[in-house]
């Protein structure tokens, strides 16, 4: 596990910059584009296949909704955890494989589902109260899954860890979230216009884009986690110790 013993050189301080997060994320993502895409695609296959299953195959629309809800939880957490492992290995200068990444994700699946459930429940309460509290919850607990995977923490410890690391930087994190949302909406809109009338092709292309966007978001979440640790604990990203050894 990475510890706070990894400090910055004397006289040097770390700053949290949104541009650095996006820049580093893009570098890591492009270095392992295919592997990150596959790591996000494979756990998401059931979710991508669900819209093509005839409604008659299910007992009711409630079953369809419940199946989709559960798949979003499980597939999303598996993909995010697998990509997080890949990012950690990349920042350590180590190779990683599909099987290793997925194995780590499966080992952390239960606590990750707990983190996701608590996160979703609090966000839902925020939406019921007002839209703004939901965004606050998102920013506070944005890197809880990464803390759960990297530091092997439990559900509530992961949430607390995220709250501590994001404190003082939540407006910038909100900016990152908004940028990701706007890009996703814009690309989805353009794809809808370009592929209008081509239902099957549109579904495939849109699905591929969602996988791509999900992979990059997972990479960005992991990079953001380590950037915040650099700021809070004062260590270089390249000095990450063997968290998975």
Q: What is the chain's mean pLDDT, rounded?
A: 79
Closest by Cα among 242, 233, 244 to 5: 233
Residues 6+ apart with CB under 8 A from 201: 195
Q: Do the Cβ atoms of 211 and 148 come closer than 8 Å?
A: no
Residues present in the chain in total = 245
How do residues 186-222 score in pLDDT, each as one tens digit?
Answer: 988 887 777 776 766 777 777 788 889 989 999 999 9
Distance separating alpha carbons of residues 88 and 237, to the nearest angstrom: 9
Q: How far apart are CA 197 and CA 206, in angstroms?
A: 14
Position 160 scores a pLDDT of 93
CA 99 – CA 104 distance, rounded (Å): 9
Task: Report which of 16, 12, 241 is spatially closest to residue 143, judged by C-alpha positions.
Answer: 16
Residues of the chain with pLDDT > 70, as a percent, come to: 74
Residue 245's CB is within 10 A of a number of other CB atoms, namely: 6
Query: Which pair of structure tokens corresponds to residue 188?
Result: 């989805």
Q: Kindly tell me if the per-residue pLDDT of 67 is higher than 80.
A: no
What does the pLDDT read at residue 1? 40
Using the predicted structure, report yes or no on whether residue 18 has a pLDDT greater than 50: yes
- Evaluate whether 3 touches 241 at the Cβ level (below 8 Å): yes
**pLDDT above 70 for 4:** no
Write down the pLDDT at residue 56: 60
Confidence of residue 63 (pLDDT cuts 50, 70, 90): low
- Tell me, yes or no, if the pTM score tops 0.85: no
Residue 47 has pLDDT above 80, yes or no: no
59 pLDDT more than 60: no
Q: What is the pLDDT of residue 12?
A: 46
Question: How far apart, in whole angstroms, are the C-alpha atoms of residue 171 and residue 139?
Answer: 8
Q: Quick check: 10 pLDDT over 70? A: no
Q: What is the DSSP string of 87-115?
A: HHHHHTT----HHHHHHHHHHTHHHHHHH
Q: Which residue has the higher pLDDT, 122 or 79?
A: 79
pLDDT at residue 2, rounded to an integer:
40
**Distance of alpha carbon 186 from alpha carbon 72, whole angstroms:** 22
Neighbours of 15 (CB within 10 A): 8
Rounded to an integer, what distance in angstroms lies between the CA atom of residue 74 and that of residue 113?
7
Predicted local confidence at residue 69, as pLDDT? 62
Tens digit of each residue's pLDDT (9 = 90 or more) over 95-133: 899 999 999 899 888 898 888 888 877 777 777 766 667
H or E segment to which residue 146 belongs = helix 144-150
Residue 58 has pLDDT above 80, yes or no: no
Mapping DSSP to helix (H, G, I), strand (E, B) and coil, where does residue 59 land? coil
More confident residue, 172 or 245: 172
What's the first-to-final CA gap in the chain, in angstroms? 9
Radius of gyration, alpha carbons of the chain = 18
Of the candidates 105, 123, 103, the one whose C-alpha atom is nearest the C-alpha of residue 177 is 123
């Amino acid at each position: 596990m990475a510890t706070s013993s990894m400090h910055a050189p004397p006289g040097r301080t770390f700053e949290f910059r949104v541009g650095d997060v996006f820049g580093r994320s893009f570098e890591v993502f492009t270095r392992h584009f295919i592997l990150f895409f596959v790591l996000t695609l494979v756990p998401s296959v059931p979710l991508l296949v669900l819209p093509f299953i005839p409604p008659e195959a299910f007992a009711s629309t409630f079953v369809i909704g419940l199946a989709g809800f559960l798949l979003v939880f499980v597939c999303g957490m598996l993909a995010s955890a697998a990509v997080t492992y890949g990012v950690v290995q990349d920042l350590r200068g180590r190779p990683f494989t599909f099987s290793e990444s997925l194995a780590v994700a499966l080992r952390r699946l239960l606590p990750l589902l707990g983190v996701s459930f608590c996160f979703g429940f609090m966000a839902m309460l925020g939406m019921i109260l007002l839209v703004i509290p939901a965004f606050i919850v998102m920013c506070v607990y944005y890197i809880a899954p990464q803390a759960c995977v990297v530091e092997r923490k439990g559900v509530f410890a992961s949430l607390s860890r995220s709250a501590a690391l994001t404190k003082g930087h939540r407006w910038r994190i909100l900016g990152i979230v908004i940028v990701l949302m706007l890009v996703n909406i814009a690309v989805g809109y353009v794809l809808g216009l370009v592929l209008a009338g081509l239902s099957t092709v549109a579904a495939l292309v849109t699905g591929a884009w969602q996988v791509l966007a999900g992979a990059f978001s997972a990479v960005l979440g992991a990079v953001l986690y380590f950037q915040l640790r650099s700021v809070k604990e004062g260590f270089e990203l390249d000095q990450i110790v063997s968290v998975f050894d």
